[in-house]
A and B are shown apart, each in its own frame.
Chain A
Amino acid sequence: MSAVIDTDGRVAGAHDHDHHHAPTGWRRWVFATNHKDIGTLYLLFAFAMLMVGGVLALLIRAELFQPGLQIVNPELFNQLTTMHGLIMVFGAIMPAFVGFANWMVPLQIGAPDMAFARMNNFSFWLMIPAAVMLVLSFFMPGGAPATGWTMYAPLTMQMGPSMDAGIFAMHILGASSIMGSINIVVTILNMRAPGMTLMKMPMFVWTWLITAYLLIAVMPVLAGAITMTLTDRHFGTTFFNPAGGGDPVMFQHIFWFFGHPEVYIMILPAFGIISQVVPAFSRKKLFGYSSMVYATASIAILSFIVWAHHMYTTGMPVTGQLFFMYATMLISVPTGVKVFNWVATMWKGAMTFETPMLFAVGFIFVFTMGGFTGLILSMAPIDIQLQDGYYVVAHFHYVLVAGSLFAMFSGFYYWAPKWTGVMYNEARGKLHFWWTMISFNVTFFPMHFLGLAGMPRRYADYPMQLADFNALASVGAFAFGLAQVYFFFMIVLPCLRGHGEKAAQRPWEAAEGLEWEVPSPAPFHTYETAPKLNADATRVVG
């Protein structure tokens, strides 16, 4: 097959014009409708947001390095914690996964692009003004919102105009997510190559299909909560103001009805990536494909009925606490099934440990630890001690950073040869892995102890007995941040510039999937006509 522009056996001469007018320059990016370009845009944007959110985190950790206030005052500290959360969740993790979806879903299902290519462009570019608004909110009168990313009422009533800017930004980001999700659902349901039934789709596609449904279901709920906050602030409503007959706890119910599925939105695509990487590097098919699909679906469905485990201390009746406790504990069952299936995939495989596999195995190890602390937190009697403390902070950083972010690193190293056409530097990749893994644990493991000792969250200063673990966490945090700067300059940039060994079409010998049936780098247009697939839907035949 020619490695030039097209890859599939399409009819000669048909629909030729696109290739002679492939966009160039700034128009290529501003008017991008190509799923690969949009994927790249999302990934670069997400990485930039990761750095911004990371700087905020380092400011927090610098302040918390010692007892006493050294760098910031408490108002600014609360702004830092709020914006760190909002930027990381809505600016880094979610767009990064959308970037992976854009790049990989059409390739993996043998489709030429996403169903709605122009809406795809809009989804991406909407995020830029929203992110600018969020970041610039620090410079508005009164500073950035300082309510925590959870924006509880009635504290939100006391915030300055940046709260409204933040609400506006979240609306825009929500709209972007909803449009992106519609695109993903329609693409997956309608544009799979013939022969690729649902139960033959790659796991990454399955997890994104389910995630997209979750997003469509819950982003409007967040929109409702923040709109009610906006009207309470400015238009005389009292949804959350008891003096007017409203209920502050209702905000929490509405927020967490969104918020809990949101955290599964942030982890399911990660599960999908791991389910691609582990079989490839074990040289063995994923164990229990159907259970993996059903487990993912169960996790998604269960995620709708557990939200009040974030609210155990609000004073809900016994029955409520018990129900939410049982439902939350239940989620550990399908999640456990997934972990067991990954280990069973590795078992009796023939493993090699290139960087994607290092991050995948690292993910399984550290994410599971986060899962255990989640199970402990789900026990209402224990949560009474730990709610709103550093144990919770440790838990969610284990599942979001060691979970989602590590899975993304794994996916990057796995798919970057396909995206860029060059192999990343393996020695540097390994260094990035170990540096990240060790500094991550140095940063967040001590936080479990701080939480057990009673240190509350969102505290600018703390009792002096807690100084040493705080200092340790701060040192780890700086090391962790530096590792990601190294990643960008020493691994990502060289790849983007084409510096590296030329990548084979299938750089990982046992990797399966239609993305490996096209050249590296993937041509601008792929699968313009539907490929004929083998029985497994993993290879192009004929």
Chain B
Amino acid sequence: MFNTLDKKLAAVAVSMLTFSSGIAHAVNDLPGGPAVHQLNLQAAATKIAEEQHFLHWMMMGICLAIFVAVFGVMFYSIFRHRKSLGHQPATFHESVKVELIWTVVPFIIVILMAVPATKMVVAQKDTSAADLTIKATGYQWRWGYEYLSGEGNGINFVSSLDLEHRQISNDGAKGVAIDDYLLKVDNPLVVPVGKKVRIITTAADVIHAFAVPAFGIKQDAIPGFVRDTWFKAERTGDFYGQCQELCGKEHAYMPIHVKVLSQDDYSAWVKSQQEPKAAAVEKPLELAQSAN
């Protein structure tokens, strides 16, 4: 094992030095998924995700303000209060007043931060009155979806990473540029736009986690237990996520693809899923009847 490892390490070192590799994967932004050189959270497709963006900006703003204040003072001090500039050291080393201020003020800031956060936690946990309920079961290493209630009730299927992508990964992904690399599945989860969808999570083996960043949701899928989360997609489109709890060797290869359709398209899809089922039920019945 280590001999080939050495050779491969050398190859990687050489390619790193020649810097030729980064440009080979010139992909585009993936709508509903990661963008090239993305700096912030993924674009929000739900109100919850929008609020997360807002909260994050708020936190960044407060942290930036504190950063500038504290390090402004520190770097000023570094430049001015130097022995080499002849600055004589002061002798103060305590001040109850100052200490109280910089304990109480941050305490108040923390409370102020907690207020919008509290509202959001409550909203994120409210899975009541869902239009559609879907169970997502984590398997090693794919997702199973069962539509439990609402339009589409009874549909179930398994959703796995596109096999070609898995092979490309094994082959080192040389010279390929795929926008939905490791995110493409055979059977996406299909939901209607503008409806509250409750996702119930569980697992069949180890802990997985169901996540869709554009929706702002993440919920561990725990064997033997049932958890839930919810989302309401504000626009149609394709949205992607990946398993977010280490679940074994193919942890990186069990993506989530949610296809949000308009209400009409969704109803059409539901019908197309249920028809083959109806046919599958009728055929054995016919056979049974003709056997008599």
Contacts and interface: CB of A to CB of B under 8 A. Distances in A.
B216 to A, nearest CB: 6
Given A372-B67, A385-B52, A453-B42, A346 B35 contact: no
Contact of A389 (B37, B38, B223, B244): B244
A152 B59 CA distance: 31
A155 B60 contact: no
Interface stretch (B114-122, B128-136, B257-265): B114-122
B78 A346 contact: yes
Interface in B19-76: 21-22, 24-25, 27, 29-30, 33-42, 51-52, 55-56, 59-60, 63, 66-67, 70-71, 73-74
B272 interface: no
B224 A243 contact: yes
A461 B252 contact: yes
A243 B223 CA distance: 9
A74 B252 contact: yes
A337 B223 CA distance: 43
Interface stretch (A180-188, A198-206, A226-234, A278-286): A278-286
A261 to B, nearest CB: 21
A353 B182 CA distance: 49
B207 interface: yes
Contact of A285 (B25, B93, B250): B93
B172 A68 contact: yes
Nearest to B180: A463
Contact of B172 (A70, A146, A339, A369): A70
Contacts of A154: 205-207, 223
A292 to B, nearest CB: 10
B103 interface: yes
Contacts of B197: none
Given A333-B110, A365-B71, A449-B39, A465 B103 contact: no
A475 interface: yes
A65 B13 CA distance: 10
Contacts of A369: 67
Contacts of A322: 118, 121
A289 interface: yes
A284 B93 contact: yes
Main secondary structure of the interface of B (DSSP, over half): mixed
A433 B149 CA distance: 60
B157 interface: no
Contacts of A78: 246, 248-249, 251
Interface in A459-500: 459-469, 471, 474-475, 478
Contacts of B29: 465
Given A71-B9, A249-B222, A284-B93, A381 B83 contact: no
Given A249-B222, A456-B252, A382 B56 contact: yes
A379 B93 contact: no
A384 B107 CA distance: 24
Contact of B114 (A329, A334, A457): A329
A463 B183 contact: yes
A237 interface: no
A254 B201 CA distance: 23
Contacts of A459: 242, 251-252
Contacts of A243: 224
A350 B114 contact: no
Given A336-B106, A452-B39, A387 B218 contact: yes
Candidate in A146, A284, A368, A454 with the most chain B CB atoms within 10 angstroms: A454
B277 interface: no
B91 interface: yes
Contact of B30 (A68, A461, A465, A478): A465
A148 interface: yes
A167 to B, nearest CB: 18
B34 A456 contact: no
A147 interface: yes
B113 A379 contact: yes
A460 B252 contact: yes
B243 interface: yes
Contacts of A334: 103
Given A155-B207, A384-B216, A348 B77 contact: yes
Interface in A11-59: 59
Nearest to A318: B125
B275 interface: no
Contact of B12 (A62, A325, A326): A62
A351 B88 CA distance: 9
A471 B22 contact: yes
Interface of B: 5, 8-9, 11-13, 15-16, 21-22, 24-25, 27, 29-30, 33-42, 51-52, 55-56, 59-60, 63, 66-67, 70-71, 73-74, 77-78, 81-84, 87-95, 98-99, 102-103, 106-107, 110, 113-114, 117-118, 120-122, 124-125, 168-174, 177-183, 201, 205-207, 209, 211, 213, 216-220, 222-225, 227-228, 241-253
5 contacts: A62-B13, A70-B12, A346-B77, A382-B55, A452-B40
4 cross-chain pairs, A with B, having the tightest CB-CB distances, nearest first? A242-B224, A68-B173, A315-B227, A381-B120
Given A70-B8, A348-B89, A384-B218, 6 more contacts: A69-B172, A287-B92, A349-B87, A369-B67, A454-B213, A465-B30
